[in-house]
Homo-oligomer: A and B are copies of this chain.
Amino acid sequence: MTIFEYENDIVILDMGLQFPEENMPGIDYIIPNIKYLEGKEKNVKGVIFSHGHLDHIGAAPILLKKLGYPPVIGLPLTIEMIKHRVEDYSRNDLKLLKVLQVKSLKDKIKLGKFTAGFFQVEHSIMDSVGTTLETPLGTIIHAGDWTMEREEDGSTHVKYTQLKDVKRPSVLMLESLGAIKQGRHATHKELYDNLISIIQKAKGRVIIATFGSQVERVKWVITAAGELGKRVALDGYSMKKNIELASKLGYIKPDKKTMIDIHKSEDYPDDKVVIVCTGAQGEENAALNRIVSGQHRTIKLKKTDTVIFSSSVIPGNERTIQRIKDNIYRQADHVIHGDLMDVHVSGHATRQDIIDMIDQTKPDYYMPVYANHFFLKEAKWLAEEQGFNSNKIFVPDNGSVFELSSKGLTLRKEKVPTEYVFVDGLGVSDSQHVVLRDRQVLAEEGMIVVITTVDSHTGQLVQNPDIISRGFVFLKDNKQLIEDVRKKVKKMVVESDPKTWADTDQIRNDIRDKIGQFIFSKTEKRPMVLPVVIRV
């Protein structure tokens, strides 16, 4: 999410979600922190969405609501996907959504002092768009997520030279995930030819796993299968929904005969069936995992199936994908993935694309964005190597504030709040860190609850201490350890002088410390020790 502000007018670009990191167990996802906008809700003249992927629209239902539903701006598929997500999150809010749909790339939309314009970009979903934001002081050019599709001779489909002519000074904000990507992508023709060839040769079913949001790719498969007279069945909630939305808008026009219901696929010969499903990242509940683990209602893997992984691996998912691949290779004799054949088109630019984009738009300032910091720095170094003035390249951090004035672009000293805001079940909170720390201790070491019941007058133990433990050691194998803990607690309570207890804090702290030490000496584990003293 990026916020643009000019006097009392604010324009926002994208409201994405981030998936949790490995030290955030139980968190569903993370959304942008909008504390900076508190009290300025009325100033927000519009929210522009560059395209419909979750890392660009996923936080929209929560954040639009918090901001009192400012107008949303985007191309048709993007808008449909936002509507669907808002409806999914809270059905009654759909009527509150205000939409300014971009009908043509020539549209200009006034948003207070800003004038938004648009330009074509290529990405792995239809209706991806770049934005220009003209202000009285200059123009921001933001490409959203983008790549440059090329022919084998290197020529590109789209040119960006018109962006040289925006009101100056111009600031090019450029998604730079491909800053260390050398070489060229396979051309669309190469990829499509690969796909056709695999689907044609397959003597059994073809099962293609990809993201639910890779709408372009699914369209190719539908087209290729249609050409070859094969049927296509889709599986996975998000994929079916996205293809339905894209079809409604006329972006996909499959032959009526081509599309079949997944549960009817057994009615056709195997070599006439292509299944496209979600789960190429190994997601536990996605269609592919259900098929591979034998839990799918109708589809079981067969030796003769050809399984295609058509997606790049999201960092963090490597081991899960290795496990699912192992399971597929055990069951099917034809597996195809990007390592040995180009079956995936990346939606992100390469180093050469970044060089060409800068060269074609000739901005006054270059700001690599939308990637890990180390990619941004590599993009900066790349531009410097090409002769771009290094004083006019700015690498932002989360929360950085830049000012465009008559003096040009400068980094301001202050930062806006960017603490993670966690979505955890129904809770949305930026004070989840304590809970996460506890979860990590519980996960690594487990916990042990020690309950002692004492007579409130005499301080004498009323009964044997209760010990409950989970996630610590296997109790059946460690009866003696638990018994030793019980004895130790008993001894501590009996020996402590109840008359000195101001409250039960002291004995509880004692139990926590000493039992903790005792357990560590026996096991080298540090479970969370939770002492409870009940006075009756």
Contacts and interface: CB of A to CB of B under 8 A. Distances in A.
Interface in A434-464: 434-436, 438-440, 442-447, 449, 451, 453, 462-463
A329 B445 CA distance: 34
A435 B374 contact: no
Interface stretch (A19-27, A70-78, A140-148, A411-419): A19-27
Given A25-B443, A442-B470, A431 B477 contact: yes
Given A372-B322, A449-B449, A530-B449, A473 B442 contact: no
A82 to B, nearest CB: 22
A62 to B, nearest CB: 14
A474 B463 CA distance: 33
Interface stretch (A191-199, A355-363, A483-491, A519-527): A519-527
Interface string A511-536: 00000000000111100101010101
Contact count band on A = 35 or more
A471 B442 contact: yes
B426 A522 contact: yes
Contacts of A374: 322, 325-326, 328-329, 335
A410 interface: no
Number of copies: 2
Interface in A338-383: 339-340, 372-374, 377-378
9 contacts: A26-B443, A330-B373, A424-B525, A427-B525, A431-B477, A432-B474, A442-B446, A451-B534, A462-B536
Contact of A329 (B326, B377, B440, B442): B377
Interface string A20-37: 011001100000000000
A532 B442 contact: no
Contacts of A434: 474
A318 interface: yes
A93 interface: no
Nearest to A376: B329
A151 interface: no
Given A326-B374, A443-B440, A446-B435, A534 B453 contact: yes
